[in-house]
Amino acid sequence: MKSLQVALALTLLPANTGLAALLTYKNVANGVWSSGISTTIVALTPSAGGTLSAQRDNRYVLLQSPAGCAGVTCQETNVAGDVFGPSTYLVLGGNGTFPLDGTWVVQNDAGSSWIGPRADQRNPTVGGSTYDNTNVFTSDSDFYVYRMVFNVSSLGLNPATAAINLSWLSDSSSNSAVSQLSHIRLCSIASLSDPVCPANTQVANSGNPGPAAAGLNSVNVTTGFTTGLMAFDFVVYNAVVGSGRNPSGLNVLINSATANTLATLPDADLQISKTDGIGQVAPGGVTAYTVVVTNLGPGTAITAPVSDHLPAQIANASWTCTASAGSSCLAASGSGSIATLVTLLPAGTAAFIVNATLSPSATASLTNTATVGAAPGATDPNLANNAATDVDAIVVPPAVPVLGLAGRMIAAFLVSLTAFVALRQRTR
């Protein structure tokens, strides 16, 4: 079976001179995503003799397994009946790495990772009969389908102007019975669980040459986009190939995904708040800010810039970003000042937690302002709520007095005197 990996990096492009602006829809809610990013930890039952956990890729689903897929070679874990799908997982070996054996022209990197129907592929000999091997299928109807869905029009973008350039690689080029390359299909769907895109929707020149390729196969997609929900179906065959033990899965790198905005985008009123919940801090002390960006609507805010330039009194800081369902943060975490992008549905939020340590020499007051800007191509009708400031007094704690010998003698005398008076009162 084939392995697929998708990598996406969000980049804003210059606006056109007319009303429409050219924007990307990579790594944003309702856009296209890399494989192996934005994942959730899911514990899997390991094969005998070890432990293994995996990450589930929530952006890709295993829509279909081969008709002949059955038994332990088509199970997510070694628990009887735990069959492949619909989840997809980062493919991990016994030491948590990929690839395993063989030579591969594409490795995991910070932007994307290989995914497959099972994480636990420590002994991934295609054609083996025991877990954790995978099976070989010889019919041209036997293939895996990995689906990624997106909706260009929901982002206020014009499908007629949409274009995607991607490169991809899989771990075998065809099944062992016919000369059928793994390939990509693109079609309009009503729901995630709709049947596989029909064969006549195959993207031109998307056939995958497999592990013998010198590099990734580049594919340009410039037609076939419609309004509403769409699916990229990655059709992956499984066959023995000469590069050794072959894990199941796939690897796609999306180089660009752009479209023009519609003539106008709905307004998106963005609001930001910031507080650390205290009124004073000490030099060298720590504080934790909560910064929340909220989209008051009515439109979706696509790639709105968020900034929090930390003042000089802060020696170091780190931050995290968590978005509400359907919305997204371009970066989930970072260090120092915040300078990132968020995509927020109406009523959506992005919450930043900033953990900061003050300089030991910090004085006066700590003033920190966070801002959010209008999303490109849209108008923010209320700029008065686009900045928030938190002010804390920097207070040096009072020094603890150090008593000399005379002071200590006086203190001891006073303690003794107090005890004597108390004793006299009890004996009266």
**Are residues 368 and 387 in contact, defined by beta-carbon separation less than 8 angstroms?**
no
Identify whether residues 286 and 256 lie together within a single domain. no
Same domain, 228 and 81: yes
Residue with structure tokens 């997204």? 328
Residue 62, domain member (yes or no)? yes
Which pLDDT value is given to residue 181?
82
Instruction: Report if residue 414 sits inside a domain.
Output: no
Higher-pLDDT residue of 279 and 110 is 279
Q: What is the pLDDT of residue 11?
A: 33
Residue 18 placed within a domain:
yes
Regarding whether 195 and 100 lie in a shared domain, the answer is yes
Asked whether residue 322 is assigned to any structural domain, the reply reads yes
Query: 35 and 65 share a domain?
Result: yes
Residue 110 and residue 206: Cα distance in Å, rounded?
25
Alpha-carbon distances of 227 from 186, 275, 378, rounded to whole Å: 13, 41, 20
In this structure, the answer to whether residues 360 and 235 fall within a common structural domain is: no
Q: Are residues 35 and 150 in the same domain?
A: yes
- Work out how many domains the chain is built from and give that number: 2
Examine the domain organization and report whether 273 and 235 are in the same domain: no
pLDDT digits 0-9 by tens, 89-132: 887 654 444 444 445 566 667 677 778 888 776 665 566 677 77
Is the per-residue pLDDT at 17 higher than 60?
A: no
402 within domain boundaries: no
pLDDT for the residue numbered 295 = 97
213, 243, 263: which is the final residue of a domain? 263
Per residue in 54-98, pLDDT (tens digit) is 678 888 999 998 888 888 888 887 788 888 889 888 876 544 444
Query: Domain ends where: 235, 263, 291?
Result: 263
* Domain contains 417: no
CATH number of the domain that residue 390 is part of:
2.60.40.1530
Instruction: Pick 366 or 104 by higher pLDDT.
Output: 366
pLDDT at residue number 113: 76
Q: Are residues 254 and 287 in the same domain?
A: no
Q: Note whether 188 and 326 are same-domain residues.
A: no
C-alpha to C-alpha distance for 386 and 381, rounded to whole angstroms: 11
Q: Above 70 in pLDDT, residue 414?
A: no
Residue 154 belongs to domain spanning: 1-263
For the beta carbon of residue 230, count every other beta carbon within 10 angstroms. Answer: 22
Q: How far apart are CA 278 and CA 375, in angstroms?
A: 32
Look at residues 216, 241, 263 and tell me which one is the last residue of a structural domain: 263
Q: 40 with 143, same domain?
A: yes
- Of residues 414 and 9, more confidently modeled: 414
- CA 322, CA 348: separation in Å to the nearest integer? 11
pLDDT at 105: 62
**Predicted confidence (pLDDT) at residue 312 exceeds the cutoff of 80:** yes
Calculate the average pLDDT of the chain: 80
Residue 70 lies in a domain: yes
List, in sequence order, every beta strand (DSSP E) within 128-181.
Answer: 144-150, 163-168
Q: How far apart are CA 250 and CA 244, in angstroms?
A: 16
3-state SS class at 304: strand
pLDDT category of residue 303 using cuts at 50, 70 and 90: confident
125 and 155 together in one domain:
yes
Domain membership flag for residue 210: yes
Do 168 and 213 belong together in one domain? Answer: yes
